[in-house]
A and B are shown apart, each in its own frame.
Chain A
Amino acid sequence: SQQGEEDPQALSIQEGENATMNCSYKTSINNLQWYRQNSGRGLVHLILIRSNEREKHSGRLRVTLDTSKKSSSLLITASRAADTASYFCATDAAIGGGADGLTFGKGTHLIIQP
């Protein structure tokens, strides 16, 4: 079942601009992860933020998490052509244990125009 929903579905910006993508989810989570997928490839993990964290940075990436609003945002600063990809948020429901997979949203397709 889908939990995370990314917004917007598609985003086109000029190289050098910042790109912001949002993710909303429905149930309480342990953590939230962001992944990138280049066309026709597997997903690559970008960043994991736990439910007790509010902000996390990794290079040009900044992720925020607002558990009261059940939302997260991914900011890519100073975008480059190589950032063109689909970006997915994945949530991990805070119910039960075990090894069940993450629940992925449908993704934001980001295009960086040269």
Chain B
Amino acid sequence: DVKVTQSSRYLVKRTGEKVFLECVQDMDHENMFWYRQDPGLGLRLIYFSYDVKMKEKGDIPEGYSVSREKKERFSLILESASTNQTSMYLCASSLPPAGLAGGRETQYFGPGTRLLVL
């Protein structure tokens, strides 16, 4: 079974702190993703990566950065946490699309990190 783990289930931080959220997958997937989930807004893509050291902005990258130094690990960084970054953060991984015109494959999600910024 694919396993995606996230470093913390719950996290409480103060405004201005630097926050690291870690995600590790054990299926040798090329693609990894970070989403945030908020009531009434659904899941929104923050950043994704399709290879080691590669990263691409998603829909809402402002205030976030990412790091992918190893294939299995994708980190989300909040450089200076703010209260509007209080949210549920979900990491996912997947295989790459099947061919140039192939669709996005199944994404495997971690359990989520619920972050509260005070």
Contacts and interface: CB of A to CB of B under 8 A. Distances in A.
Contacts of A20: none
Interface string B35-74: 1000011110100111000001011000000000000000
A88 B107 CA distance: 13
Interface residues of A, number: 31
B49 A99 contact: yes
A59 interface: no
Interface stretch (A37-45, A60-68, A71-79): A37-45
B60 to A, nearest CB: 10
A41 B56 contact: no
B103 A101 contact: no
B90 A43 contact: yes
A46 to B, nearest CB: 10
B42 A106 contact: yes
Interface in A27-66: 29-31, 33, 35, 40-45, 48, 50-51
The 4 closest A-B pairs by CB, nearest first: A30-B103, A99-B50, A42-B109, A31-B103
27 contacts: A30-B97, A30-B101, A30-B102, A40-B114, A42-B4, A42-B90, A43-B43, A43-B92, A43-B107, A43-B109, A45-B107, A50-B103, A88-B43, A90-B107, A92-B103, A98-B50, A98-B56, A99-B30, A99-B31, A99-B94, A100-B45, A100-B58, A100-B104, A101-B33, A101-B35, A106-B40, A107-B42
